[in-house]
Amino acid sequence: MSAALVGQPIARLDGPAKVTGSARYAAEFNQSGQAYAVVVGSTIGRGRITGIDADTVTGLPGVIAVISHLNAPRLDYGPHKGPIDPAVGERLHVLQDDQVHFYGQPVAVVVAEALDDAERAAAALHVSYSASEPVVDPNDPRARSIIPGSTARPGSRIQADKARGDADGAWASAPVKIDATYSIARDNHNPMEPHATVAVWNGGRLTLWSKTQFVVNEQAEIAAIFGIPLEHVQVICPFIGGAFGTSLRTWPHVTLAAIAARTVQRPVKLVLSRRQMFHTTGHRPRTVQRVALGATRDGKLTSVIHEGTGETSRYEQFVEALTSISSYLYSCPNVRTRYRLVPLDTGTPTYMRGPGEASGVFAIECAMDELAHALGMDPVELRRRTEPQIDEGEGRPFSSRSLIQCLDFGAERFGWARRNPKPRSMHDGRLLIGWGVASATYPAIQSPASARVRLLADGTAEVEAAASDMGPGTTTSMTQVAADALGLPLRKVRFSLGRSDFPRAPPHGGSQTMASVGSAIRAACIAAQDEAAGNGGRLPVEASASTARDPELARTFSMHAFGAVFVEVAVDPDLGIVRVRRAVGAYGVGRVVNPRLAASQCIGGMVGGVGMALMERTVLDLRDGRPVNAHMADYLVPVNLDIPAFEAHLVEEEDPHVNPLGAKGLGEIALTGVAPAIANAVFHATGKRLRELPIRIEDLLTE
Ligand code: MOS
């Protein structure tokens, strides 16, 4: 087996299709006779629908149907049957009753001959409500925090409470200590591609061209709700224009497209507007975290206390790994973490790039910077002194850990040694310059996955898995893995993904696609070769394989990726404007299948981190929970001018334990660490410690 392709910086195989526009995204799968559906969202934050005046719009041009709870089919919303179950509770039962749980909840769907007909009718549809006062602010005295139920499930990676030693006692007696509270705004994913579904019924069979990071989950969810056999639902999604977690779940608009198509007996296209993408497709939950650190004067941690609370909806408990990092990131004998949820009258949050870890790392890494300052110690040196030998939370060795290598490599590339540690000491003309650093981390996940390989008589191979590619280059990197395993040149291998009738793959999230699907592809290629060898080489042959993490290795090792981020900011002292001037990220993520795509993926994550640190913030109207900046003019994301000089480096790391490919995954880790590095740089520039994201001009202008 040659190893010529894995490790090569191959350009995206689907790049030409993407830049020429021949790559088709969900909303582009037009069907003949297609009608258009537009969602009507609730204009109250909580209450009951008392009337839907469908008659006034059914006579409007082009209108075919107005579907609401008054006439929608009753669906089989039982317990969640799909393979992904991120939340405890009852997912939204769309159009099944008169209850309104949050602003923007779908209360009707209008179907028309043309998109503008449907939009006009949706805007004209009068819905009356009996409204009550929603609680949408976590600080509202009526909001109550709860212990997240799913954390009690056996095997849950996320625990409500975890402790070793006596963290509170050790903190009380620590010679040097800090205690600070950090908060992060609600962020929305805002990928370029909107959520979209084209639904076509053919008898009892349903085909969905739908934007999803998880085709087999969408298939399972829709089959369950409509009470039809799994194999009667086909979900197709060959390309994704960014998602960042917002397309992991099957949100109500997919169900609405299927309801609409069944009601009007025609293909139906449903595309969410940018505004609607702030309502029903999840968001990074607002969080508040308290971190208290105690240390000896020579920089050994004696106490870590990490208490975090995230928002959720009232009908579901969304949990993420907000406080999990604190048990393994640094060496400390006394650690106590606590995780709570505050249910509010909003839609359920969801995973957003680096879910949990990105928020948790912000708090811990800012706290480490505060501690370094209190100690009068260089923040890189503090991390050197707190480097653990093993995962002290799990009591097992790391399969590999390159945090110090990343810090060293990044510091060298960045020129960290030239930093004057004193805040407000570095200048460029009238601008204040700040240099900040933070660690990054994310678990190395591998889930069960399958793949199928056909070796054809013409010497080419076809490889299939129900994976997705939301942009990291999965299509390309999987082709590299398969070609190497088969000993074929790249052009002789065709890899296909994004169909629910392909062999099952886990969600395209959690940075696990290469570890999971890559392992399955490699195994299937080997099986196909064995098969061909066994029958004397007669082609074609077909073979499938399923892989999962070796349970023995999983019990033996703690598996995480680590990295370090260095950032330079320039702050205008009069205007409060913060500009990131340059950033260096260094990551230890095991084997890198394609360094070109990996660096691109890392820089993309770093850009997301800039957004989280300085720009992104969904603001809710407290009266009704309406996202008031639900459009790209007021929801700010970084643009090219915000990203002048970013470098992502992948340090050499050989991990013989994590999976047969030795690949840890790198999608999420690249976002974690960036926001605290920026906040720490802002402190270094200004002497002002800002503990709330995003950092805004007004924060820097007020005392
Ligand atoms: Mo990522 S938030 O797991 O799509």
DSSP string, 594-641: -HHHHHHHHHHHHHHHHHHHHT--PPBPTTT--BTT-STTTS----GG
| Beta-sheet pairing, 461-464 with 493-496 | parallel
What is the per-residue pLDDT for 336? 98
Which protein residue's CA is at the shortest distance from atom 3 of ligand 1?
A: 509
Q: Is the CB of 355 within 6 Å of ligand 1? A: yes
What is the per-residue pLDDT for 87? 64
What is the per-residue pLDDT for 157? 80
User: How far does the centroid of ligand 1 lie from the alpha carbon of residue 252, in Å?
Assistant: 19
Ligand 1 atom closest to 509 (CA): 3
What is the per-residue pLDDT for 1? 43
Q: To test the ligand 1 pocket, which listed residue (84, 157, 190, 244) has its Cβ within 8 A of the most ligand atoms?
A: 244
User: How far does the centroid of ligand 1 lie from the alpha carbon of residue 699, in Å?
Assistant: 30
Ligand 1 atom closest to 667 (CA): 1
Q: Is the CB of 245 within 6 Å of ligand 1? A: yes
User: How far does the centroid of ligand 1 lie from the alpha carbon of residue 189, in Å?
Assistant: 10
Q: Is the CB of 509 within 6 Å of ligand 1? A: yes
Q: Minimal CA–CA distance to 116: which of 63, 184, 189?
A: 63
Q: Is the CB of 226 within 6 Å of ligand 1? A: no
Q: Is the CB of 665 within 6 Å of ligand 1? A: no
Ligand 1 atom closest to 353 (CA): 2
| Three-state DSSP state, 675 | helix
Q: Is the CB of 353 within 6 Å of ligand 1? A: yes
Ligand 1 atom closest to 511 (CA): 3
User: How far does the centroid of ligand 1 lie from the alpha carbon of residue 230, in Å?
Assistant: 25
Ligand 1 atom closest to 350 (CA): 2
User: How far does the centroid of ligand 1 lie from the alpha carbon of residue 21, in Å?
Assistant: 26
Q: Give the CA distances from residue 669 to residues 326, 509, 552, in Å, rounded to whole numbers and listed in that order.
A: 16, 12, 25
Other residues' Cβ atoms within 10 Å of the Cβ of residue 640 = 7
Whether the ω angle into residue 694 lies within 30 degrees of 0, i.e. cis, is yes
Distance CA 301, CA 291 (A): 13
What is the per-residue pLDDT for 152? 74
Listed in sequence order, the residues at least 6 apart from 561 whose beta carbon sits closer than 8 Å to its beta carbon are 441, 442, 443, 444, 511, 587, 588, 589, 590, 664, 665, 666, 669
Q: Give the CA distances from residue 579 to residues 145, 180, 281, in Å, rounded to whole numbers and listed in that order.
A: 36, 25, 30
Q: Is the CB of 244 within 6 Å of ligand 1? A: yes
User: How far does the centroid of ligand 1 lie from the alpha carbon of residue 486, in Å?
Assistant: 30
Ligand 1 atom closest to 354 (CA): 2
Q: Which DSSP symbol is given to 486?
A: H
Q: Is the CB of 351 within 6 Å of ligand 1? A: yes
Q: Is the CB of 339 within 6 Å of ligand 1? A: no
Ligand 1 atom closest to 247 (CA): 4
Which protein residue's CA is at the shortest distance from atom 4 of ligand 1?
A: 245
Helix axis angle, 674-686 to 357-375, nearest 10°: 30
User: How far does the centroid of ligand 1 lie from the alpha carbon of residue 89, in Å?
Assistant: 21
User: How far does the centroid of ligand 1 lie from the alpha carbon of residue 666, in Å?
Assistant: 11
On whether the CB atoms of residues 227 and 322 are closer than 8 A, the answer is no
Residue type, 694: P
Q: Minimal CA–CA distance to 176: which of 291, 290, 289, 299?
A: 299
User: How far does the centroid of ligand 1 lie from the alpha carbon of residue 131, in Å?
Assistant: 35
Helix axis angle, 357-375 to 595-614, nearest 10°: 70
Q: Is the CB of 472 within 6 Å of ligand 1? A: no
Which residues of the chain carry a pLDDT beneath 50?
A: 1-2, 82-83
Burial of 24 by CB count in 10 Å (0-12 exposed, 13-18 middle, 19+ buried)?
A: middle
Q: To test the ligand 1 pocket, which listed residue (240, 248, 447) has its Cβ within 8 A of the most ligand atoms?
A: 248
What is the per-residue pLDDT for 83? 47
What is the per-residue pLDDT for 3? 60
Q: Copy the structure tokens of residue 39.
A: 């969602």
Q: Copy the structure tokens of residue 160.
A: 């409500």
What is the per-residue pLDDT for 569? 98
Q: Is the CB of 248 within 6 Å of ligand 1? A: yes
The catalytic residue positions are 668
In this predicted model, what pLDDT tens digit does every residue of 56-95 receive, in sequence order? 999 999 999 999 999 999 999 976 654 455 567 889 999 9
Q: Is the CB of 510 within 6 Å of ligand 1? A: yes
Q: Is the CB of 352 within 6 Å of ligand 1? A: yes
Ligand 1 atom closest to 508 (CA): 4
User: How far does the centroid of ligand 1 lie from the alpha carbon of residue 215, in Å?
Assistant: 15
Q: To test the ligand 1 pocket, which listed residue (350, 447, 668, 672) has its Cβ within 8 A of the most ligand atoms?
A: 668
User: How far does the centroid of ligand 1 lie from the alpha carbon of residue 509, in Å?
Assistant: 4
357-359-360-362 Cα dihedral, nearest 10 degrees? 120
